[in-house]
């Protein structure tokens, strides 16, 4: 299945709506939407801290999802702010930017000399748990609630120099 940028954005928007207990349209329309957090079916299986507060935007709308007691406190502080001002309030710290590739402009380039790319799936991944240093890429636990299902790794000669893993919750996206 070929995914263009529009379809990828639609899939991401839909998954975020499930995760944050809102509607897909809330990310498209101007304004701020406050939602009480819920453990919806088909959500990604990320562990939630308590108290829970998550803020996301994909263009115009801002969605703020939180535990009921947190929502009561932050709503009066955020409801009249602009999208930009929400992300710089003093009690919000740490944010991440994510990008979706544009398959119409991405070109395959040759690998630099000496580098090779490899893929492991399923139980083959467990072999990689013996290699230290990639704790942010793979789980290192075959019994984890969100087990790795796919790992792509890069070797320079015989040495693994990079690794990226996808967990089981990744397959839910777009369904």
Q: What is the DSSP letter of 36?
A: E
pLDDT in tens, 126-160: 999 999 999 989 989 888 888 899 999 999 999 99
Question: What's the rounded Cα separation, in Å, for the pair 82 and 85?
Answer: 5
Question: What does the block give as tokens for 170?
Answer: 């990744």
pLDDT exceeds 80 at position 174: no
pLDDT in tens, 14-63: 999 999 999 999 999 999 999 999 999 988 877 788 899 999 999 789 99
Tell which wins on pLDDT, 4 or 16.
16
Mean pLDDT over the full length of the chain? 88
pLDDT exceeds 60 at position 1: no
pLDDT exceeds 50 at position 175: no
The neighbouring-strand residues paired with 156 are 115, 159
Please report, for the chain, the start and end positions of each structural domain, with discontinuous segments joined by +: 5-86, 115-171
Q: Which pTM does this prediction carry?
A: 0.71
């Amino acid at each position: 299945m070929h995914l263009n940028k529009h379809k990828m954005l639609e899939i991401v928007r839909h998954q975020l709506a499930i995760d944050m207990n809102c509607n897909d349209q809330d990310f498209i329309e101007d304004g701020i939407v406050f939602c009480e957090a819920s453990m919806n079916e088909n959500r990604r299986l990320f562990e939630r801290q308590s108290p829970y507060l998550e803020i996301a935007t994909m263009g115009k709308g801002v969605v703020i999802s939180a535990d009921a007691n947190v929502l009561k406190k932050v709503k009066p502080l955020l409801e009249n702010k602009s999208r930009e001002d929400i992300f710089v309030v003093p009690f919000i710290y740490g944010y991440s930017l994510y990008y979706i590739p544009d398959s119409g402009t991405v070109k395959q380039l040759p690998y630099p000399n000496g580098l090779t790319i490899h893929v492991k799936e399923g139980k083959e991944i467990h072999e990689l748990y013996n290699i230290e240093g990639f704790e942010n890429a793979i789980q290192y636990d075959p019994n984890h609630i969100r087990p790795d299902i796919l790992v792509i790794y890069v070797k320079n000669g015989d040495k693994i120099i990079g690794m990226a893993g996808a967990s089981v919750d990744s397959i839910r996206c777009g369904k």
